[in-house]
Amino acid sequence: MLRLAAALTLFMSATTALATEAGWALLREGGHVVLLRHAMVTGSGDPGGFEIGNCATQQKLSERGKQQARKIGALFAARAAPIDRVLSSRYCRALDTAIIAFEDNKVETFEPLDLISKDAAKADAQNAAVLSEIEKFTGDGNLVLVTHLENIKALTGAGAREGEAVIVGLDGEALRVLARIIFN
């Protein structure tokens, strides 16, 4: 039983490494879209009195999350993955991830990347705005969208760990996951 568990762990590590390498190969080519979940945070939810423009009322990146964001940026540079544009949720944890990771690129806030609304009509409008932005992208580098787990799930049906990059492509009117890069 112990050997089976060890073999399974080794297999999963190898599978993750292959998936990550496939992701880097795509990003080196350029012209791809990355949904990046913000880096690791403190706590498990925003405190009471949340205000979008006041970081003191929001979850923040943990020290490990800040290190993770630096690692994300360093690996993008080391792996020669060109970036044309970085858009981020206005939430401080996402914006801080983007600024720390991609300091050489001007990070733009993009409201539709904010935490997905619980109102179905508003959520549909957010997703439509993100899809429209992806459809318009024609750069030689890559488009990085820093957002939240719920948004990634709503757009792709797939989850993502904190600080994980999900490389997507348009498949008709939906997004398809092409590869993943794990930065833990």
Higher pLDDT, 17 or 97: 97
Amino acid occupying residue 77: A
Whether 58 shows a pLDDT value over 80: the answer reads: yes
Whether 179 shows a pLDDT value over 70: the answer reads: yes
Q: In what order do the strands lie in the sheet with 83-88?
A: 107-109, 83-88, 142-147, 33-37, 165-171, 174-181
pLDDT tens sequence across 63-106: 999 999 999 999 999 998 899 999 999 999 999 999 999 987 78
Amino acid 16: pLDDT: 42
Arithmetic mean of pLDDT over the chain: 87
**Under 8 Å between Cβ of 70 and 40:** no
- Give the Cα separation of 79 and 100 in Å (integer): 17
SS3 for 105?
Answer: coil
Q: Which two tokens stand for residue 148?
A: 């939240």
* % of the chain at pLDDT higher than 90: 70
Helix residue spans in the chain (DSSP H): 2-29, 63-78, 92-101, 120-136, 149-156
Amino acid 156: pLDDT: 96
Amino acid 17: pLDDT: 43
pLDDT tens sequence across 129-139: 999 999 999 98
pLDDT band at 14 (very low <50, low <70, confident <90, very high): very low
**Under 8 Å between Cβ of 168 and 177:** yes
All domains in the chain, ordered by first residue: 2-181 (3.40.50.1240)
pLDDT band at 9 (very low <50, low <70, confident <90, very high): very low
Which residues are CB-neighbours of 55 under 8 A, at least 6 positions away?
Answer: 92
**Nearest Cα to Cα of residue 33 among 141, 149, 153, 163:** 141
HSE (side-chain half, CA atoms, 13 Å) at 24: 15
Strands 33-37 and 174-181: unpaired
**Under 8 Å between Cβ of 168 and 135:** no
